[in-house]
């Protein structure tokens, strides 16, 4: 494979102080190069010796911006001339010459990078520089070269070409694709491939340390490609591209025109321009050195790549050249085919605005054999000139080709045969697909404009049918989706907006094709920009199209969104949550089938917690935070009310005690007055006064504190039996066999029951439901919604709401028109015999308990605060 050949300077005709020919041996942004003596005699000669005998493939000269030779001749030899080595004398063999531009068009503000193709074997190279071009800056009639580059192979390279051919043949039979994007800029078995890193512009406009890093990365990339590690090769390629964006042309300071001691003392009209730009010779017609097409001054030289051998000259030109003597024939300037050209970097808005919009100067370069094979069908329909423009290395040619194709399609007459119209359409789609990949913004936008016209105007105008529209969408949508992951934010936005607009075209909307591309699962290693753009585009199109007859289905969207919840990028997960909430707002129950149940385990995940709270807001019910706040407020209010009731009841008890004590004291005074009729003063003085006795208060004896029933059989054991079997306010838990208040049965099942982990609370009716049955219970929506505790009580037996308050519970459970599901109502009048001592059953009051023998007749709510005994089945 051709590569850069090192050399040393053997001799030169002379040089100006500080500008020795040895400067040509160094390639770096800061080199000054060689400069001839002032007012020297012409021609000037420079002799180079290469490190080994080699076959030269390419020569590159970087000319000075205003010290320019009119012509440079090239000679080659296997040994030094006789005036250096008299015993091994050999004449230099002349290769030809190249002409250099006088640089008047650029105002001497750009340097010309001359690349020529040769095929010669030798070890010594001689350059002969002729008379300089006259300009107002070159006051000493000097010529100069900033740098020379030699690219070739070792002379004994015959075996390697055969090896490369064998590798290429093997790749052909195993189906190896040399057009893989990872292989761009990489040797893929081509014996004449020249790496862009060996180009002179790379070293002259690249920091040396960064250049070494890029070369090491490129070497690793070639090894990865040879080992078929294409993913790794793509990463290395991206790393090289990122490093190359650090390149900046270096403004080299130039010497002043007039120095001290100069033989001329005339003052120049103006100081010389800065030589900070390079112009490479690109002739419109090969082999004509006088027809030069300068590259735009703002084009960056580091993006030029390897050169290939020139195409055959035009017959008319061949006649002119053959008429010249052999030694006077010019060397052809290298023609770079686009097949091996590196991708152009995206131009910034400023650069693009300065570039010509009406078309580039000259004509696009001819198609290579590879391009001709690839675009043969398009060439047959559109012609080689238009396709060559679409394949050109110059972005303005590519843009102009697309605009010309746009005009051609718009002007196609209605009566054209259908086959011709379809052929024209297929060729246009081929070029559109290629242009969509273009990283230059104007070319990319021109491709979108052309695609929109084809779908919305060309196909309907000629009535080509849905099949052609489907062809357009199938060929372009995958590439457009790839561009939504572009590193340029501007191109990402343009691509996403166009896909959204394209999906809403009436011609495309009816096909329902684009949604199927958007809901394909994201790969775990998908680029961040691509995944984010896909999710955002899906969310926008769902709002525009919905799920009815649009190509989007609940199943496809939910599977894609649930999978995106696990993506490593936060923005993707956040957008997935938004998509699921939008779907729930439209479909409710079907969406829940793709999510885990709403329980504590699921809510530990922040995303699912956000989803379930979003579901609650959509349904108009309070979220968990709001429910906790309401429960806290209700608990505080209940505690306050209980304290007030206890205080009132304690006051009533104290008043009752005082009243009974007063009655007893009055009776004692009456009996003492009757006895006082028999005066006995000494006895009255000796006898101490009798203290009044307060009888025991038995007002709560034989009383059920829950239902208020009083009976002589309500001893300690009798009350236990009453609680266990007959009290209408109590019931037995079917899961733990404890006796609890009916009013607190739900709270018992959720917080106290031995099987409390198996229950969950329905957000609609607020009752305890087995977790296995909770999802179907929620989806069925058969339960009646519960009201706040301040507005109504909720019976866990009949599942009905009734008036709030403690007395309402007694009326509901014990009244004649009370709860129909309270089975103990049929046993109100039955009384079982007292249980055997030691075998008494027990009762549990949910949360807190009441002592059976309590002296304070409080209702259910007040009792729970002062209870001290818990009844358990023994």
Closest to 58 in 3D by CA, of 125, 135, 143, 106? 125
Question: Where are the extended beta strands (E) located within 259-347?
Answer: 278-280
Confidence of residue 266 (pLDDT cuts 50, 70, 90): very low
Mean pLDDT over residues 394-414, rounded? 93
Q: What would the DSSP string read from start to end of 141-154?
A: ---EEEEEEEEEEE
Cβ contact 209:161 at 8 Å: no
The share of the chain scoring above pLDDT 90, in percent, equals: 26
294-308, 362-376, 403-417, 561-575: which has the highest mean pLDDT? 403-417
- pLDDT at res. 826: 58
528-545 vs 466-483: helix crossing angle, rounded to 10: 140
Instruction: Examine the pLDDT at 134 and tell me if it is beyond 60.
Output: yes
Confidence of residue 662 (pLDDT cuts 50, 70, 90): low
Confidence of residue 634 (pLDDT cuts 50, 70, 90): confident
Mean pLDDT over residues 604-614, rounded? 80
Instruction: Examine the pLDDT at 435 and tell me if it is beyond 80.
Output: yes
- pLDDT at res. 856: 30
Mention every residue, 6+ apart, whose C-beta is less than 8 A from residue 264. 139, 140, 258
Closest to 372 in 3D by CA, of 338, 399, 348? 338
Cβ contact 43:84 at 8 Å: no
Which two structure tokens, joined as six digits, stand for 176?
Answer: 């190896």
β-pair partners for 46: 12, 127
In the chain, what is the greatest distance between 2 CA atoms, to the nearest angstrom? 178
Which two structure tokens, joined as six digits, stand for 88?
Answer: 């091994």
Instruction: Examine the pLDDT at 541 and tell me if it is beyond 70.
Output: yes
Mean pLDDT over residues 295-306, rounded? 35
Cβ contact 492:480 at 8 Å: no
Range with the poorest average pLDDT among 59-73, 506-520, 859-873: 859-873
Instruction: Examine the pLDDT at 171 and tell me if it is beyond 70.
Output: no
Confidence of residue 469 (pLDDT cuts 50, 70, 90): very high
Cα dihedral 664, 670, 673, 678, rounded to 10, equals: -100
745-757: per-residue pLDDT in tens?
A: 999 999 989 888 8
Range with the poorest average pLDDT among 437-446, 447-456, 642-651: 642-651
Range with the poorest average pLDDT among 188-197, 469-478, 833-842: 833-842
- pLDDT at res. 369: 84
Mean pLDDT over residues 675-695, rounded? 47
Residue 613 has phi, psi (to 5 degrees) of -70, -35
| Better-scored residue on pLDDT, 524 or 455 | 455
185-189, 240-244, 484-488, 547-551: which has the highest mean pLDDT? 484-488
* Dist CA 86 CA 30 (whole Å): 38
Which two structure tokens, joined as six digits, stand for 142?
Answer: 């000097």
- pLDDT at res. 199: 85
Mean pLDDT over residues 137-150, rounded? 93
Instruction: Examine the pLDDT at 648 and tell me if it is beyond 70.
Output: yes
Q: What would the DSSP string read from start to end of 467-495?
A: HHHHHHHHHHHHHHHHHTT-S-HHHHHHH
Instruction: Examine the pLDDT at 141 and tell me if it is beyond 60.
Output: yes
- pLDDT at res. 332: 46
Range with the poorest average pLDDT among 65-79, 150-164, 197-211, 441-455: 150-164
Instruction: Examine the pLDDT at 176 and tell me if it is beyond 60.
Output: no
Instruction: Examine the pLDDT at 702 and tell me if it is beyond 60.
Output: yes
Cα dihedral 807, 809, 810, 814, rounded to 10, equals: 150
Confidence of residue 699 (pLDDT cuts 50, 70, 90): low
Closest to 693 in 3D by CA, of 655, 656, 654, 667? 667
* Dist CA 244 CA 215 (whole Å): 11
Cβ contact 42:129 at 8 Å: yes
Mean pLDDT over residues 203-227, rounded? 85
- The two beta strands, 111-129 and 278-280, are parallel
Instruction: Examine the pLDDT at 230 and tell me if it is beyond 50.
Output: yes
* Dist CA 684 CA 735 (whole Å): 71
- pLDDT at res. 547: 84
The pLDDT mean for the chain works out to 74
* Dist CA 189 CA 164 (whole Å): 5
Confidence of residue 167 (pLDDT cuts 50, 70, 90): very low
* Dist CA 22 CA 11 (whole Å): 9
Instruction: Examine the pLDDT at 528 and tell me if it is beyond 60.
Output: yes
Range with the poorest average pLDDT among 191-205, 745-759, 818-832, 847-861: 847-861
Confidence of residue 90 (pLDDT cuts 50, 70, 90): low
| Better-scored residue on pLDDT, 698 or 455 | 455
Range with the poorest average pLDDT among 289-303, 307-321, 654-668, 707-721: 289-303
Mean pLDDT over residues 427-456, rounded? 94
- pLDDT at res. 346: 37
Residue 650 has phi, psi (to 5 degrees) of -65, -35
Q: Which helix (H) or strand (E) holds 34?
A: strand 34-35
Instruction: Examine the pLDDT at 269 and tell me if it is beyond 50.
Output: no
252-264: per-residue pLDDT in tens?
A: 333 333 333 333 3
- pLDDT at res. 321: 41
Closest to 580 in 3D by CA, of 614, 625, 627, 530? 614
The share of the chain scoring above pLDDT 70, in percent, equals: 71
Mean pLDDT over residues 73-85, rounded? 74
- pLDDT at res. 505: 92
Confidence of residue 789 (pLDDT cuts 50, 70, 90): confident
Instruction: Examine the pLDDT at 31 and tell me if it is beyond 70.
Output: yes
Mean pLDDT over residues 115-130, rounded? 92
């Amino acid at each position: 494979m051709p590569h850069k050949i090192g050399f040393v300077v053997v001799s030169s005709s002379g040089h100006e102080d500080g500008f020795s020919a040895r400067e040509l041996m160094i390639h770096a942004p800061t080199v000054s190069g060689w400069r001839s003596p002032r007012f020297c005699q012409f021609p000037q000669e420079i002799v180079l010796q290469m490190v080994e005998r080699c076959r030269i493939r390419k020569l590159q000269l970087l000319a000075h911006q205003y010290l320019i030779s009119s012509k440079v001749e090239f000679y080659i030899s296997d040994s030094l001339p006789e005036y250096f080595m008299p015993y091994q004398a050999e004449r230099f063999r002349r290769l030809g010459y190249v002409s250099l531009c006088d640089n008047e068009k650029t105002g001497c503000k750009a340097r010309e990078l001359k690349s020529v193709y040769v095929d010669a074997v030798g070890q010594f190279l001689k350059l002969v520089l002729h008379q300089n071009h006259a300009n107002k800056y070159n006051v000493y009639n000097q010529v100069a070269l900033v740098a020379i580059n030699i690219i070739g192979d070792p002379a004994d390279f015959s075996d390697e070409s055969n090896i490369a051919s064998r590798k290429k043949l093997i790749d052909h039979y195993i189906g190896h694709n040399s057009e893989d994007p990872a292989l761009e800029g990489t040797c893929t078995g081509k014996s004449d491939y020249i790496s862009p890193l060996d180009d002179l512009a790379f070293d002259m406009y690249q920091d040396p340390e960064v250049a070494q890093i890029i070369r090491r990365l490129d070497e690793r990339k070639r090894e990865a490609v040879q080992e078929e590690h294409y993913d790794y090769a793509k990463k290395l390629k991206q790393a090289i591209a990122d490093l190359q964006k650090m390149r900046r042309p270096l403004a080299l300071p130039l010497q002043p025109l007039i120095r001290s001691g100069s033989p001329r003392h005339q003052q120049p009209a103006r100081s010389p321009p800065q030589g900070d730009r390079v112009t490479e010779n690109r002739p419109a017609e090969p082999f004509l050195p006088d027809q030069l097409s300068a590259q735009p001054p703002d084009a960056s030289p580091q993006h030029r790549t390897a050169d290939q051998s020139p195409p055959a000259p035009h017959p008319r030109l061949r006649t002119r050249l053959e008429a010249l003597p052999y030694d006077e024939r010019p060397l052809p300037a290298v023609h770079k085919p686009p097949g091996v050209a590196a991708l152009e970097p995206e131009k910034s808005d400023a650069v693009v605005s300065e570039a010509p919009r009406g078309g580039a100067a000259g004509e696009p370069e001819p198609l290579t054999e590879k391009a001709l094979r690839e675009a043969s069908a398009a060439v047959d329909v559109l012609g080689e000139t238009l396709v060559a423009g679409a394949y050109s290395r110059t972005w303005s040619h590519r843009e102009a080709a697309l605009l010309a194709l746009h005009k051609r399609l718009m002007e196609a007459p209605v009566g054209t045969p259908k086959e011709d119209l379809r052929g024209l359409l297929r060729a246009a789609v081929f070029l559109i697909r290629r242009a969509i990949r273009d990283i230059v913004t104007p070319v990319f936008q021109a491709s979108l404009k052309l695609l929109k016209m084809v779908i919305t105007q060309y196909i309907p105008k000629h009535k080509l049918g849905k099949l052609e529209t489907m062809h357009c969408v199938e060929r372009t949508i995958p590439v457009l989706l790839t561009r939504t992951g572009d590193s340029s934010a501007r191109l990402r936005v343009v691509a996403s907006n166009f896909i959204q607009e394209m999906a809403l075209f009436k011609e495309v909307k009816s096909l329902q094709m684009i949604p199927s591309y958007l809901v394909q699962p994201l790969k775990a290693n998908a680029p961040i920009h691509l995944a984010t753009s896909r999710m955002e585009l899906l969310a926008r199109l769902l709002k525009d199209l919905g799920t009815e007859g649009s190509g989007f289905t609940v199943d496809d969207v939910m599977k894609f969104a649930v999978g995106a919840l696990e993506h490593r990028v936060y923005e993707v997960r956040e957008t997935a949550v938004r998509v699921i909430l939008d779907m729930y707002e439209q479909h409710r129950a079907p969406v829940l089938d793709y999510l885990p149940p709403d329980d504590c385990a699921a809510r530990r995940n922040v995303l699912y917690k956000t989803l379930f709270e979003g579901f609650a807001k959509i349904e108009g019910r309070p979220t968990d935070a709001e429910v906790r706040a309401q429960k806290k407020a209700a608990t505080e209010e209940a505690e306050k009310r209980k304290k007030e009731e206890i205080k009132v009841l304690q006051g009533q008890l104290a008043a009752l005690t005082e009243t009974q004590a007063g009655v007893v004291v009055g009776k004692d005074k009456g009996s003492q007055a009757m006895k006082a009729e028999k005066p006995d003063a000494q006895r009255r003085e000796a006898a101490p006064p009798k203290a009044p006795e307060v009888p025991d208060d038995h007002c709560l004896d034989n009383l059920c504190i829950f239902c208020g029933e009083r009976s002589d059989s309500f001893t300690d054991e009798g009350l236990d039996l009453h609680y266990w079997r007959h009290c209408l306010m109590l019931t037995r838990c079917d899961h733990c066999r404890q006796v609890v208040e009916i009013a607190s049965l739900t709270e018992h099942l959720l917080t106290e029951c031995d099987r409390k982990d198996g229950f969950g609370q329905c957000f609609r009716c607020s009752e305890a439901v087995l977790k296995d049955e909770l999802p179907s219970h929620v989806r069925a929506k058969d339960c009646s919604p519960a009201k706040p505790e301040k507005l109504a009580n909720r019976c866990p037996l009949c599942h009905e709401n009734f008036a709030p308050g403690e007395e309402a519970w007694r009326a509901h459970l014990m009244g004649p028109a009370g709860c129909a599901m309270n089975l103990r109502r049929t046993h109100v009048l039955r009384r079982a015999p007292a249980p055997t001592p030691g075998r008494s059953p027990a009762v549990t009051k949910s949360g807190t308990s009441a002592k059976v023998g309590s002296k304070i007749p409080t209702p259910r709510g007040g009792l729970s605060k002062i209870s001290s005994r818990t009844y358990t089945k023994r």
